[in-house]
Structure 1
Amino acid sequence: YSIQLCRLFNSYYNIERILDSTNEESKIILLGIVSQNIESSMKLLGINLIKEI
Structure 2
Amino acid sequence: MKTKMDMMLQSVMKIENACFGVHVKGSEYIPLLGSNDPSSFLVGIPDIEL
Report the TM-score when normalising by structure 2: 0.48
Who wins on radius of gyration, i.e. which is larger? 2
Report the TM-score when normalising by structure 1: 0.46
